[in-house]
């Protein structure tokens, strides 16, 4: 039997080349070896976008198209919508007993996000947002995932999932699988302004950017130490020409690098690499029905898997009243 991957994206905006280097490349490469589930995390997206549900709704399609465009193949992978799997919400309730508030507050990614979202949360935070790592543990364990290919910022979520799994198994008996994280080889892609690449910061290169947009963005990239390393990292990710990569790396070390040479070259390479992705994405934009059909089929399949896990969990928790008479 194949091992299982579960991974997901919050539908809060289009995905970009930061996601590509950090997570998407891995997930596309691994879909042949693993039984792969790609979740569009609309419930999680609402934890900090509860006041803008239409944004989340719109981006469910954007994120689905991004995944399909970069090479997630619906014949190999199952793409589905989180909110249509109520079993995940049920698991979240059960797992919430296994996590303390103090532990949730210590999660470094959540901590940083709360700080960034002062406008939304003021001096406090919602129950839903603080608890989203618990719901993420439910996402992962509902599919009994072995591996979770994600960006680096997600490591604390996987760690917390593992803790919940251990605690559950200890109390209720061996039931859930402890997942492992898998990080891309260039996980910390910066935007052209030197901050973390992020759609909301407006510094990202997306799969719908035109060649001119990509050229302009890279032209404006910072070339301080951090910015330069970022450009070289991107070159390494997108170029297949080892000699060129080596040349620029050496020039950087010896302080003779010419950004007037590197930047246009890097832009051309990225434009070339993204071209088939962009074309595929245009196809899905024009054929929304195709995307809907993929999501519907994926969601139905995913739900059956989550139902099986929930049944096992409830049995272990002595919640298996009336077995098949009620469901």
Choose the binding region for ligand TRP from 2-10, 61-69, 87-95, 280-288 (rule: CB under 6 A): 2-10
The yes or no reply on residue 48 touching ligand TRP (CB under 6 A) is no
For this structure, is 2 an active site residue? no
For this structure, is 196 an active site residue? yes
Active-site entry in 117, 196, 249, 312:
196
Cβ-contact 89, 43 below 8 angstroms: yes
Residue number with CB closer to ligand TRP (80 or 248): 80
What is the footprint of ligand TRP within residues 136-195 (CB under 6 A)? 136, 139-140, 148, 150, 154, 157
Choose the binding region for ligand TRP from 135-143, 230-238, 263-271, 315-323 (rule: CB under 6 A): 135-143
Residue number with CB closer to ligand TRP (74 or 156): 156
Chain centroid to CA 149:
8
| CA atoms of 107 and 316, how far apart (whole Å) | 28
CA nearest to 190, candidates 222, 216, 213: 222
H/E/C letters for each residue in 245-306? Answer: HHHHHHHHHHCCCCHHHHHHHHHHHHHHHHHHHHHHHHHHHHCHHHHHHHHHHHHHHHHHHH
Separation in Å, CA 224 to CA 143, 191, 197, 250: 44, 13, 16, 16
Minimum distance from CB of 229 to ligand TRP (Å)?
A: 24
Residue number with the smallest Cβ distance to ligand TRP = 8
For this structure, is 314 an active site residue? no
Q: Would you name the residues annotated as active-site residues?
A: 118, 196, 199
Residues that bind ligand TRP (CB under 6 A): 6-10, 39, 41, 44, 136, 139-140, 148, 150, 154, 157
């Amino acid at each position: 039997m194949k091992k299982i991957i579960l991974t997901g994206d919050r539908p809060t905006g289009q995905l970009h080349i930061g996601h590509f280097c950090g997570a998407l490349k891995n997930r596309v490469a691994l879909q042949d070896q693993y039984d792969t589930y790609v979740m569009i995390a609309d419930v999680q997206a609402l934890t900090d976008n509860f006041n803008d549900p239409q944004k989340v709704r719109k981006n469910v399609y954007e994120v689905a198209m991004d995944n399909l465009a970069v090479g997630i193949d619906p014949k190999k992978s199952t793409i589905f919508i989180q909110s249509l799997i109520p079993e995940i919400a049920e698991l979240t309730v059960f797992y919430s007993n296994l996590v303390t508030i103090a532990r949730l507050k210590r999660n470094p990614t959540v901590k940083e996000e709360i700080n960034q979202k002062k406008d939304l949360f003021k001096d406090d935070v919602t129950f839903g947002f603080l608890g989203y790592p618990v719901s993420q543990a439910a996402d992962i364990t509902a599919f009994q995932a072995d591996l979770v290919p994600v960006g680096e910022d997600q490591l604390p979520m996987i760690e917390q999932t593992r803790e919940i799994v251990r605690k559950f198994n200890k109390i209720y008996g061996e039931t859930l699988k402890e997942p492992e994280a898998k990080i891309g080889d260039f996980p910390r892609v910066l935007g052209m302004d030197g901050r973390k690449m992020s759609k909301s910061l407006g510094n990202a290169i997306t799969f719908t950017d035109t060649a001119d947009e990509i050229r302009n963005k890279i032209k404006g990239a910072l070339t301080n130490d951090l910015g330069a390393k970022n450009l070289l990292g991107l070159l390494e990710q997108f170029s297949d020409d080892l000699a060129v990569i080596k040349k620029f790396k050496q020039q950087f070390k010896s302080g003779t690098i010419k950004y007037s040479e590197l930047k246009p070259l890097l832009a051309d390479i990225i434009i070339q690499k993204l071209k088939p992705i962009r074309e595929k994405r245009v196809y899905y934009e024009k054929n929304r029905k195709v995307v809907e059909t993929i999501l519907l089929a994926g969601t139905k399949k995913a739900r059956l898997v989550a139902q099986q896990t929930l049944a096992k969990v409830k049995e272990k928790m002595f919640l298996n009243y009336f077995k098949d008479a009620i469901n």
